[in-house]
Structure 1
């Protein structure tokens, strides 16, 4: 098979396209021929071994694919629990696959399996969004953010505020339904300025829900902007910077909550993925949810895809074409 493999940890430069033996399906697994593979920001952490789960070399990155069983069958979108997604053939448990409805493209389906289910559970499971509450979506033009903005509006958020790093990205977030946008660069020099900007975007009021994936000063500024009984869900660390320690007394004194979310824990409860995927695929097929596709890269351009992600040049979902 043709695949992307790394034999040392690092940046995009360690990603090499090579020929490898086809995977061997284990117990309760099935082989699939891949038509498109998803690229996720978490993959950049996987490649440098800086994420929550330790990685072992050699490694084929990636966790999402669209394809068909090698012995024939319907098109599915699937999740790979141990990596291996950047390849033209994968082996996975069929329990971790979902049929792709007619009218939903490979790229749209890939946008849902990790990023869509993350947005769904951040709002439904982690923060328990209540109609009328204000929601801040960090990286509102990204893979999770573009879907979270739309879902928050659909589920009755009173005001949706998105952060984005350029005028073009802020315009996209507003096109998708954000009521206001904020430049997260304000947090680089002073988290208090970022706090003030979030409150200004919310009509001078503190905010109820924050979906946060940056860390550092962005997390600190967003936490300070929370209203009593507000919740901030941390699901990433794109800045590679740690936020300030959260003291229990400060949470008690302000009646605020900090919640962590890692989609990997949903894999132990497959019904959690089923519920989210069923809803998201149906909404997309009906045209009620618009996944934003940021680009389809040949597998030979995998380094460029990672460079674009890390440099914040991309919007929405990035996809690899294993045939090119």
Structure 2
């Protein structure tokens, strides 16, 4: 959920409205760092024959992750979604295949004719999904998660495959003032360029109107259900006259 203030965005692509542009930065930074810095993929260079599984692909980060992953030459992109609406959304964004993360993912992937994923981007409910993902991950593969576990995971599940587990948290650079903090500015410039030339679209799925108490409650209620598609946007503030009596000076 993001707020939009037009004067804060001077370099957005002219093809996007303020709200559509504002839906991108946080999710795009997370997806870019996860795919290209943590999992080692690249838009440039030789085609790869690897397979990527994105778990929880219909949300904000997943929606931009599908698009960015499809820019990697040769990469097979499999998304997970549990409802017809979210499945259609992932297909529209370019996923080669979509499976239900509440069913046997490995069996569904095999049925679709895809091989075991070499890379997995875990975007929600790691406590539920991690054991199955560790089992289906290809040898020497890597899992990247953007959400914490509620319970300590069994990392030994990855040992016999010489597999890796990495984290992505887009606030790491600013929180720790890392020497490469400016890299996020360059990433956003790349995202803006890709949007401007039509290779990416905004992940805005619903504009809930101006920021006010009712719309905030609506937005949070939708997020708490864990079934939102894309990114929710609140655009601008709604100012209402104060009901507090004015105190006249004496």
TM-based fold match above 0.5? yes
Q: Please name the residue that 2:216 is paired with.
A: 302
- The structure-2 alpha-carbon separation of the partners of 1:138 and 1:66, relative to structure 1 and needing over 3 Å to count, comes to farther
Q: 2:161 aligns with which of 254, 258, 267?
A: 254
| CA pair 243-132 structure 1, distance change in 2 beyond 3 A | farther
TM-score (norm 2): 0.81
User: Which residue of 8, 23, 40 corresponds with 1:128?
Assistant: 40
Give the equivalent residue in structure 1 for 2:246: none
Ranked by relative contact order (alpha carbons within 8 Å, sequence separation 6 or more), the top structure is 2
> What TM-score do you get using the length of structure 1 for normalisation?
0.64
**How far apart, CA to CA, are the structure 2 residues paired with 1:117 and 1:124?**
10
Separation (CA, whole Å) in 1 of partners of 2:202 and 2:133:
26
Q: Distance in 1 between matches of 2:151 and 2:108?
A: 21
Gapped regions of structure 2 (runs ≥ 5):
43-47, 239-250
User: What is the match of residue 109 of structure 1?
Assistant: 21
Where structure 1 has 5 or more consecutive residues not aligned to the other structure, the ranges are: 1-37, 40-63, 69-74, 77-97, 187-192
Whether 1:172 aligns to 2:89 is: yes
Tell me: CA distance 1:294–1:255, structure 2 relative to 1, closer, same or farther (3 Å): same
Indicate yes or no: 2:146 matched with 1:235: yes
Deviation at 1:199, TM superposition (A): 4.3
5 Å-filtered alignment, 1:171-190, equals 171-186=88-103
Alpha-carbon distance change, 136 to 66 in structure 1, aligned in 2, over 3 angstroms: farther
Deviation string for 1:108-161 (max 9, x for gaps)? 322221101111111100000262211111222111111111111111243111
Is it true that 1:220 corresponds to 2:131 in the alignment? yes
* 2:228 corresponds to: 314
Q: Are the counterparts in 2 of residues 199 and 225 from structure 1 also a CA contact under 8 Å?
A: no
Number of aligned pairs?
A: 225
Deviations 1:66-95, CA, capped at 9 Å, x for gaps: 442xxxxxx42xxxxxxxxxxxxxxxxxxx
Q: Which residue of 2 aligns with 1:265?
A: 172
Match of 1:162 among 66, 76, 79: 79
Tell me if structure 1 keeps the 8 A contact 2:81–2:99: yes
Aligned partners of 2:13 and 2:123: how far apart in 1?
Answer: 30
Matches of 1:271 and 1:132, distance apart in 2 = 32
Q: Which runs of 4 or more aligned residues in structure 1 lie more than 6 Å from their structure 2 counterparts after TM superposition?
A: none
Conserved? CA contact 1:119–1:144, under 8 Å: yes
